[in-house]
Amino acid sequence: MKLPRIALCLALIPALAHSAPLSKEHKILFFGKDDRVLEKPERAPWRSVGQLETRSRTICTGTLVAPDVVLTAGHCFVDEKGRFDPATSFTVGLWGDEYTALSRIKEVQVDKAFLKGLIRKRDGLYIPPRIAPRDFAFVRLATPLGNSQGTVPVFSGDAQALKTLLARQNWTITQGGYPVDDQRHLRAHHGCKATALRGDGRLTHRCDTLEGNSGSPIFVIDAKGQATIVAVQSSAPPAARRKLEDNMSVSAPVFQKALQAFIAKSAKK
């Protein structure tokens, strides 16, 4: 799936169904150089980070935030024609040809305003800025993998509290997921920088991301090594605009209440 960019619209980081070598464009998308490192998903928080696959074989990254709930990006479930593309599986502990566990998907919830606001054109699907902050989704698993893999807490404060937290951390964050150039191994960028928390709730940053990282967690990790999700990865500019724009994520204050309602609904079943 390729979602091109036009004025006033957002170019998403799509996911492909196979690994691919780094292209010249990919290399330009890195901030100076590729600072990603391999991160074996056998310890927290990485053992809670996994790979989502949809019916059309789109690949995204997601994180266990409750025993049976995964947090990811909304555009992962929309195909090139704007149709809903349901998730089929979520895999954790993926490392080469091995993995720890896999679950089928029971339910996917994508923000209704996000789906309604998509613009369909001949050359692709566009996400206008007015709905870009709604690019998040929640996935319910048939098997509660979080009971064995653990879950990662999501920041529960408002935007001002998040700014305070980021300032206390010197705006240093960590991101990790399953990128297009190596979809069988988890790669993380430690100590990258958040650059601004926008008024609409989007958090800009300079972590090295590629296709496949859509929906991946943006963590703040404290002095004790405890990780908290503060945002989910959404998009990157085209290579031609890399020097002008940072990467984009959706911050936790935007979706926290909706996420808690989705988790609570699961507990009642």
pLDDT digits (tens, 9 = 90+) for 230-261: 999 998 766 565 666 789 999 999 999 999 99
Cβ neighbourhood burial of 234 (10 Å; 0-12, 13-18, 19+) = buried
- Concerning whether 249 is annotated as a catalytic residue, the answer is no
Which one of the listed residues 26, 48, 75, 103 is annotated catalytic? 75
**What pLDDT does 63 receive?**
98
* pLDDT above 60 (res 28): no
**What pLDDT does 5 receive?**
31
- Are 51 and 94 in contact by the 8 Å Cβ rule? The answer is yes
- Are 198 and 129 in contact by the 8 Å Cβ rule? The answer is no
**What pLDDT does 209 receive?**
86
- Are 53 and 88 in contact by the 8 Å Cβ rule? The answer is yes
Q: What is the mean pLDDT of the chain?
A: 87
Which one of the listed residues 103, 214, 234, 235 is annotated catalytic? 214
Cα–Cα distance, 136 to 232 (Å, whole number):
7
- Cα 90 to chain centroid distance, Å, stands at 14
- Of the two residues 33 and 93, the one the predictor is more confident about is 93
Cα–Cα distance, 52 to 73 (Å, whole number):
11
Query: And the tokens for 20?
Result: 């691919």
**What pLDDT does 37 receive?**
93
- Concerning whether 214 is annotated as a catalytic residue, the answer is yes
* pLDDT above 50 (res 38): yes
Query: And the tokens for 115?
Result: 């789906």
Alpha helices in the chain, H assignment, sequence order: 24-29, 112-117, 146-149, 159-168, 252-268
Give the residue from 146, 114, 145 showing the smallest Cα distance to 130: 114
% of residues, the chain, pLDDT over 90:
69
Question: Taking the alpha carbons of 77, 42, 228, 207 in that order, is the dihedral positive or negative?
Answer: negative
Q: Name which of 15-19, 75-79, 172-176, 222-226 the model is least confident about.
A: 15-19
- Of the two residues 118 and 138, the one the predictor is more confident about is 138
Question: Per-residue confidence at 266, pLDDT binned at 50, 70, 90?
Answer: low
Give the residue from 49, 221, 192, 200 showing the smallest Cα distance to 134: 200
**What pLDDT does 253 receive?**
98
Q: Which residues lie closer than 8 Å to 241 by C-beta, 6 or more apart?
A: 5
pLDDT in tens, 86-122: 999 999 999 999 999 999 999 999 999 999 998 887 7
- Are 202 and 189 in contact by the 8 Å Cβ rule? The answer is no
* pLDDT above 80 (res 135): yes
Question: Per-residue confidence at 62, pLDDT binned at 50, 70, 90?
Answer: very high
* pLDDT above 50 (res 11): no
* pLDDT above 50 (res 17): no
Rg (CA), the chain: 17
Which SS3 state, helix, strand or coil, does residue 26 take? Answer: helix
Which SS3 state, helix, strand or coil, does residue 157 take? Answer: coil
**What pLDDT does 12 receive?**
40
Strands 217-221 and 227-235: antiparallel
* pLDDT above 80 (res 169): yes
pLDDT (average), residues 186-208? 95
